[in-house]
Amino acid sequence: MRKIVFLILLAFTGKSFAQGLSASDSVKVLLQNYQYKTALDIVDRLLQTNNSNAELLYLKGMALKGNIKYAEAIKALSELLKLYPNQVSPLIEIGNCYKMIGDYKHAYSSLFKADSISPNKFVRTEMANILFNTDLFDLAAKTYSELLSSDTLNVFLLRTIGRCYDKLTMLDSAMKYYEKTIELNPYDFHSVYPLCNIYIRKRAYQKVIDISEAYLKIDTTEVLMKRMNAYLYLLNKDYQSAVSKFKICYSHSDTSIFTIKYLGVSYYKLNIFDTAKVYLEMAFNRDSMDAQTCNFLGISCSQSYWKKLGIYYLKKAIVLLNPDPVFLSGIYTNLAEACNGYSKYNDAVTAYLKAYEINPSDTLLPYRIAKQYDKWLDNKEMAIKYYSLFLSVKQPATDETSTDKDGGLVISYYSAAKGRIKQLQKDLKK
C-alpha cells in the first residue's frame, strides 16, 4: 500500500513539478479526480513545512470534505478563516459541511456571512433551502421570491415557491406557481403531482383526471402518476375505469399496497365481492392496522362465501376506529392546555370536559376543570362543583401537606381543592 501511495505522490508531485505544476496544482488534480484520500496525504505532508499557507489549508478542508469528514473539514477551514477572515469560499464550504451534518443553524450563519461579504445567488439559494428544510416556509418563500425577481423564468425557483405555499396551506398561491412551472416545463412531474393533490383536496376530480391524462401522454412510464390517475377514477365514481386503470398498474409490476388496496375497493364498489376480497386481503396481509381495509374486506367477505371471516374483519375495524380512551383523553387534555396558552379559555374548558367524558377514570381531570372555571373563567359555581367532584373521587394517599427535600411546604391537590371551595363559598356570600 505504501508503495502505491509513493508512486502516486511521485506522479503528482515530482513529475508534476518537472512539467511546471505547483504542489497545490497537483492536489487540485487529485481532487478533480475524486482522489480525496491521496490528496489529503499530500496536503498534510506539504503543511508540515508551511502550516499557514492559505491555499493548502483550503485544499485540506476540501479533501476532508470529500472523505466525508465534515467536522474535521470545518476545523481546517476555520483555521484558514482565522488567518483570512473575509474569504468567501471557506465560509460557503463550512456552511455546506454544517448542512451535511444537520446543523442548519450554523450552516445558515456561515452562508449568511459569506453573502454579506459578497452577495451571491448560489449562496442565497442555499440559505433559502436551509429555511425550507427547517420548516420556515414563509421566510424561505420570501428569499426564493427575491431571487425570482431577477430570474422570472427559473423553473426551480417557481416550483419551490409553490412548495413553500403548499406547506403553508396557501393553496391558491401554490397552484399559481405550480401552473407557471408547468407552462415552462410540461415534463416537471414535481410540479404536476402536487398540483394534482391540491385539486384532489378541492374535490375537483375531473380536473385532476384531465391533468394526469395530459401528463401521461408525455410520460407513459411514471408509476405514481398512473396510480393517481386510477385513483381519480375511483374518487369520481367511475369504478369500471378505476378497475381497468389499477389492473394496468398491477400488470406493470406496481404491487404497492396502495394499488392493491384500491383495486380491491374498486371491485367492491362494483359489487364483485369475491374478487374484492382477494386484493383487499393481500392489502390486509401487508398492513393489518388499516381500518378502512378491514371494513371493506369484512363487508366483501360477508357479502360472499366467507361470512364468519367477515365478522372477524369487521370487529377488527371497530377496534381500530375506536382509539384507547386514555390516549384520546390525553389528546383533549393537551388541546386544552394549548388553548389556554393562546388565551382561548372557553375552548380549553370544552376540551377538558370532553377529555373527562371520554376517560372518567382520570381522577385529576375534575380538578383541572375546576381550576379552569376558577382561574380563567371566574365561574365560582362550576368551580365548586368540580372541586367537590374531585374530592369525592380523589382521596389523599398520606397527609394533606408535606415538605420537600429542601424543607419547603408542598400542598396537595386535595388540600388545595378544599381550600378553594371554602374561599369560593365565602365569595358567593358577599
Confidence of residue 210 (pLDDT cuts 50, 70, 90): very high
Cell (9 digits) for 393: 373521587
Per-residue b or e along 270-291, where b marks 16 or more CB atoms closer than 10 Å to that residue's CB? eebbebbbebbbbbbeeeeebe
Give pLDDT tens digits for 168-202: 999 999 999 999 999 999 999 999 999 999 999 99
The CATH number of whichever domain residue 12 belongs to comes to 1.25.40.10
Give the C-alpha separation, 75 to 65, whole Å: 11
Give the C-alpha separation, 69 to 75, whole Å: 10
Give the C-alpha separation, 145 to 139, whole Å: 10
User: Do both 203 and 147 map to the same domain?
Assistant: yes
Question: In which region does residue 378 sit, left (phi positive, over 0), alpha (psi from -120 to 50) or beta (all else)?
Answer: left
Give pLDDT tens digits for 362-415: 989 999 999 999 999 999 999 999 999 999 986 654 444 444 444 444 458 888
pLDDT score of 67: 93
How confident is the model over 226-239, as a mean pLDDT?
96
Contact 291, 278 (CB under 8 A): no
User: Do both 196 and 340 map to the same domain?
Assistant: no
Q: Is the pLDDT of residue 276 over 70?
A: yes
Chosen domain end from 55, 84, 113: 84
Confidence of residue 319 (pLDDT cuts 50, 70, 90): confident
CA distances from 351 to 332, 357, 394 (A): 5, 10, 21
Q: How would DSSP label each residue in 349-388?
A: HHHHHHHHHH-TT-TTHHHHHHHIIIIIS--HHHHHHHHH
Give the C-alpha separation, 315 to 302, whole Å: 12
pLDDT score of 250: 95
User: Do both 71 and 103 map to the same domain?
Assistant: no
User: Among all chains, which residue has been given the C-alpha cell 383541572?
Assistant: 368
Average pLDDT, the chain: 88
How confident is the model over 43-71, as a mean pLDDT?
88
User: Do both 296 and 372 map to the same domain?
Assistant: no
Chosen domain end from 264, 297, 320: 320
3-state secondary structure of 241: helix
User: Among all chains, which residue has been given the C-alpha cell 489549508?
Assistant: 57
User: Do both 135 and 234 map to the same domain?
Assistant: yes
Give the C-alpha separation, 359 to 149, whole Å: 55
User: Do both 112 and 210 map to the same domain?
Assistant: yes
User: Do both 156 and 286 map to the same domain?
Assistant: yes
How confident is the model over 258-262, as a mean pLDDT?
97
User: Do both 273 and 185 map to the same domain?
Assistant: yes
Which of 124 and 337 is assigned the larger pLDDT? 124
Chosen domain end from 269, 297, 320: 320
User: Do both 180 and 270 map to the same domain?
Assistant: yes
- Alpha-carbon Rg of the chain, whole angstroms? 33
Give the C-alpha separation, 46 to 54, whole Å: 12
- Which residue range forms the structural domain that includes residue 249? 85-320
User: Do both 43 and 114 map to the same domain?
Assistant: no
User: Do both 310 and 357 map to the same domain?
Assistant: no
Closest CA to 47 of 11, 39, 16, 12: 39
User: Do both 263 and 407 map to the same domain?
Assistant: no
Domain count across the chain: 3
Closest CA to 279 of 243, 227, 316, 229: 243
Q: Is the pTM of this model over 0.85?
A: no
Long-range CB contacts for residues 419-425, cutoff 8 Å, separation at least 24? 420/370, 420/374, 420/383, 420/387, 421/384, 421/387, 421/388, 421/391, 424/374, 424/380, 424/383, 424/384, 424/387, 425/384
Confidence of residue 15 (pLDDT cuts 50, 70, 90): very low
